[in-house]
Amino acid sequence: MLSNFIFSINAVIPVFLIMLLGYELKRRELLSAGFLASGNKLLFYIALPIMLFRGVYTNDIRDFIDFRFIAFVLGITMATFFTLWGIASIFIKEKSVVASVVQGSFRGNFALMGIPIILNLAGNAGMARAALVVVFAIPFFNVLSIMVLAPCTGEKVGVKSVILAVLKNPSNILIAIGIILTLLNLSLPAILNVTMNSIANLASPLALLCIGGGMVFHGFDAKFKYAAIASAIKIIVVPIIFTTSAILLGFRDYDLAVILVLGGVPTATISYAMAAQMGGDTSVAGTIIVITTLASAVTLTLFIYVMRVLGLLVI
């Protein structure tokens, strides 16, 4: 049991230590706002897409493509989202608060925080499964977030604009290229492989530094209770629902690891930007991000530990 606990700590805590380093560097003004803005752009357009490309390219797609896994991730996400939206609409009157609570409760920071944890848990084999989530689930998250935020502005969701955004996403483009290369059994020249690995290795630490540097707590205002409840749902209730459903349906090991991390990672930082852009409550959105980011260091470690002890994560 001690070895399982140490394994769980080693998989999760290093990710949060780098994130806290980013917070401290920003506090001491060693990381500027300009650096964080440029770092996030570098992540989105180059480092993260290349890291995901490597995860696909270095594994045979025929070994990890699994439509049952994809259907489960999309199904459980949609069921959770609409259940949360229905419940929040009953108990909360303000549409802006409803939107931020629902988005903060279901949308995790999988690409920036989940992938480093999966790398620690399962290496490139887990990354292949994580790439499936990035291709199919994360664009789906965007659609659901727009749906719940749309009532705040009165705007309708444009199917064409959503599809174009998915197709133009750099991560989706490079994952598609990686899949094509593996299907055709094509290899990159050694010089490109070395370059790719160097850039891909930059993605995780840069992402965590930027997350830590960008954390801002918005205080204990009258709406703090909504942020606290949404945070508890995100890092406790959602991962329990995800993992319990997955276990009952027979998912184990790499699949279960990715599903657990998908459900248990803290709220995505992009949820704050979307709330600000589309009329959501930014105070609630920002507070949810901070609470879930800090508390999930404990909850994710415990979830991984329990799964290991039960023999469900043999990786």
For 92-128, the pLDDT digits (tens) are: 999 999 999 999 999 998 988 898 899 888 877 787 7
Cα separation values, 161 from 94, 166, 173, 198, 229, Å: 27, 9, 17, 34, 33
Q: Do the domain assignments include residue 314? A: no
Q: Do the domain assignments include residue 111? A: yes
CATH number of the domain to which 248 belongs: 1.20.1530.20
Asked if 85 and 148 touch (Cβ cutoff 8 Å), the reply is yes
Could you give the count of Cα atoms lying within 13 Å of 275 in the half-sphere of its Cβ?
A: 27
Specify the range with the lowest mean pLDDT, choosing from 150-164, 214-228, 291-305.
150-164
Asked if 165 and 90 touch (Cβ cutoff 8 Å), the reply is no
Better-predicted residue by pLDDT, 218 or 137: 137
Q: Do the domain assignments include residue 315? A: no
Q: Do the domain assignments include residue 174? A: yes
Specify the range with the lowest mean pLDDT, choosing from 23-27, 97-101, 143-147, 258-262.
143-147
Q: How many domains does the chain have?
A: 1
Average pLDDT over residues 45-58: 85
Domain interval for residue 33: 2-309
Q: Do the domain assignments include residue 250? A: yes
Q: What is the pLDDT of residue 218?
A: 61
Average pLDDT over residues 277-282: 85
The DSSP 8-state label assigned to residue 39 in this structure reads: H
Q: Do the domain assignments include residue 113? A: yes
Q: Do the domain assignments include residue 17? A: yes
Q: What is the pLDDT of residue 213?
A: 87
Q: Do the domain assignments include residue 41? A: yes
Average pLDDT over residues 23-31: 93
